[in-house]
């Protein structure tokens, strides 16, 4: 079991997308990489805390590799867009990949290097060791499962049928 933390705009869609994948065991949305302990949604949205909206993805590395997780992540974000994804704008909506060990850092760096030729603009995804992660309020967890038709800037249909849980 491994964990990776991904920021790609509003965390509701990132969570809903990864929840449907084979090999993903759990997700949790929250706030990370900022300067305030246990921030609230309102504080993060103000932009004053420096946090990003992040989805913690727990996965079975025997069922889905980190590189495959990153491939899925790049399907749902624009990695060349700074501090925005879709209509979500602000530093809290930046794209990022946050890791906890050197082998992950190496895999992420190699993946981004492999992907860069496919984009005309530079990839601006923040890649850093995880500094902090604070779970978001309960009403944000599993939001799109509990709120069918709720706001989501991500096309949840980008995962192929064979990549989805049964």
Backbone φ and ψ for 58, nearest 5 degrees, come out as -100, 125
Q: Closest by alpha carbon to 158, among 57, 16, 54?
A: 16
Q: Closest by alpha carbon to 96, among 11, 1, 2?
A: 11
Residue 40 to residue 151: CA distance in whole angstroms: 20
The answer to whether residue 55 is catalytic is no
Catalytic residue among 10, 45, 55, 152: 10
In DSSP notation, 80-128 reads T-TTEETTEESGGG-EEEEESSHHHHHHHHHHHHHHGGG-SSPP--EEE
Residue 108 to residue 103: CA distance in whole angstroms: 9
In DSSP notation, 38-53 reads S--HHHHHTT-S--EE
Given a contact cutoff of 8 angstroms between Cβ atoms, the answer to whether 3 and 98 are in contact is no
List, by residue number, the catalytic residues.
10
């Amino acid at each position: 079991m491994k964990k990776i933390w991904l920021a790609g705009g509003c965390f509701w869609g990132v969570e809903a997308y990864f929840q449907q994948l084979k090999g993903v065991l759990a997700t949790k949305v929250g706030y990370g990489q900022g300067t305030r302990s246990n921030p609230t949604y309102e504080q993060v949205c103000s932009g004053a805390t420096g946090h990003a909206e992040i989805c913690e993805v727990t996965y079975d590395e025997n069922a889905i590799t980190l590189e495959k997780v990153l491939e899925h992540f790049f399907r749902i974000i624009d990695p060349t867009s700074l501090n925005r994804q879709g209509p979500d704008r602000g530093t809290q909506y930046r794209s990022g990949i946050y890791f906890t060990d050197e082998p992950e850092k190496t895999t992420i760096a190699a993946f981004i290097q492999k992907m860069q030729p496919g984009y005309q603009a530079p990839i601006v995804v923040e890649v850093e060791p995880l500094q902090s992660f604070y779970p978001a309020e309960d009403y944000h967890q599993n939001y799109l499962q509990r709120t069918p038709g709720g706001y989501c800037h991500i096309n949840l249909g980008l995962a192929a049928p064979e990549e989805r849980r049964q």
